Amino acid sequence: MGARYERLAALDAAFHLPTYARQPVLFERGEGMRLYDDQGREYLDFVSGIGAVNLGHAHPAVADAVADQMRRLVHVSNLYHVEHRAALAERLSGLAGGGWKTLFCNSGTEAAEGAIKLARRWGKAKRGESCFHVVTAERSFHGRTMAALSATGQPSKQEAFAPLLPGFTHVPLNDLAALEGAITPGTCAVLLEPVQGEGGVHPCDEKYLHAVRALCDERDVLLIFDEVQSGCYRTGSPFAWQGYGVRPDVMMLAKSLANGLPIGAVLASGEAAGAFAPGDHGSTFGGGPVICAAALATLDALEGEHLGINAERTGSYMRDALEELGRRTGALREVRGRGLMLAAELVEPNAKAVASACLERGIVLNAIGENILRLLPPLVCRKDETDTLLNTLEIVLEAV
């Protein structure tokens, strides 16, 4: 590490609130799958900004779209029509099969806040003031603002901030009986991640998700999918629910929708789309001209470069290779996930040590908790880059 890193680390310690345990590296630039630090060293990125850079780093089409829009119009607020915002809403509706209306915001946690408010507005209008409860899953993660945190099913992230907002019930994922028992006349929505990300990359069972859809229809409850991490072709299809064949009433997006630039979105269809009235919700910067231009360019590139297909193919190859590595070394308890949203669960509780050792060898990985490695590479990831990951990981697993 050079003098610049040491100076910035000192500034960080002196002037930033300590909400992140930053890694000992200073990245200066990126290109596709690759990152380069202040010493000129090259890394393969299997984190992609926690799934926020699905196209890879510094995609030229996104850079050009942002630069062009920056020169013409940056901000006018949501009091006025914006051409790119309308085009992006139409594009997202089409990708999701039509019939959707969108509210744009700035992040995944804002999208969660918007979706929860929409569900409560819908529930109270439909069944009265007591209809505001939301059922979510244990191990889920929906964000760090208060409603999103209250919806999150991880007590370790909530305890320091109690009391939480009332009206949230958590049930085990893939347990239909538990969900059925948790839905009451006061329930307005069920909120699930089709593939839990922050909780350790746990996919919903396909039969379970179909049964949840039927249960929500039977009880007249909204089904909300959090696609903040699994959306934008990460699991192969534009949205993970399409791979299950289960359409929600409300959907949350963020992260890679503008390939690393801050954006969030709440999409609603059917009755849910009519729940909000002017003044019920809003965002100063959500859906601005620059971010929507970036998102349109991102979707163009994701589709034009067929990165959903690559996510399925390379993800399948990576999963098989990780399972083979686990059989050969005995170091992996389980490999799970969909597309290029994978987790390798280690037998030993040394995920952070493994991720640190991989970083020293030029591989960027994310450790979740004590024994889970999360793999979220850009969707441009190739088989030879996956082989480099596996070779490095095998060396590290033998050494730590």
Q: What tens digit of pLDDT does each residue of 381-400 get?
A: 999 999 999 999 999 999 98
44 contacts 362 by C-beta, under 8 angstroms = yes
185 contacts 220 by C-beta, under 8 angstroms = no
344-358 pLDDT per residue, tens? 999 999 999 999 999
The catalytically annotated residue of 141, 168, 239, 276 is 141
pLDDT for position 176: 98
Average pLDDT on 8-35 reads: 96
The catalytically annotated residue of 37, 45, 132, 255 is 255
30-82 pLDDT per residue, tens? 999 999 999 999 999 999 999 999 999 999 999 999 999 999 999 999 999 99
Q: Given pLDDT bands bounded at 50, 70 and 90, which one contains residue 116? A: very high
- Whether 168 is catalytic is no
How many CB atoms neighbour CB 25 within 10 A? 16
pLDDT for position 86: 98
pLDDT for position 1: 77
Q: How far apart are CA 293 and CA 153, in angstroms?
A: 34
Average pLDDT on 372-381 reads: 98
The catalytically annotated residue of 226, 239, 249, 276 is 226
- Whether 161 is catalytic is no
Q: How far apart are CA 143 and CA 107, in angstroms?
A: 9
Q: 314: which 2 tokens?
A: 């390379």
Average pLDDT on 236-252 reads: 98
How many CB atoms neighbour CB 328 within 10 A? 11
Look-up of token digits 């984190």: 47
Q: Given pLDDT bands bounded at 50, 70 and 90, which one contains residue 2? A: confident
pLDDT for position 294: 98
Residues 6+ apart with CB under 8 A from 135: 168, 169, 170, 171, 179, 182, 183, 187, 189, 190, 191
Select from 236, 229, 219, 154 the least CA-distant residue to 181: 219
Q: Helices 307-329 and 383-399: crossing angle, nearest 10°?
A: 30
Q: pLDDT at residue 249 above 90? A: yes
pLDDT > 70 in the chain, percent:
100
Neighbour order of strands in the sheet with 366-368: 332-338, 341-346, 372-375, 366-368
Average pLDDT on 125-138 reads: 97
Helices (H), 16-152: 48-51, 60-72, 83-95, 108-127, 146-151
> Average pLDDT of the chain?
97
* pTM of model > 0.95: yes
Q: pLDDT at residue 335 above 90? A: yes
- Whether 27 is catalytic is no
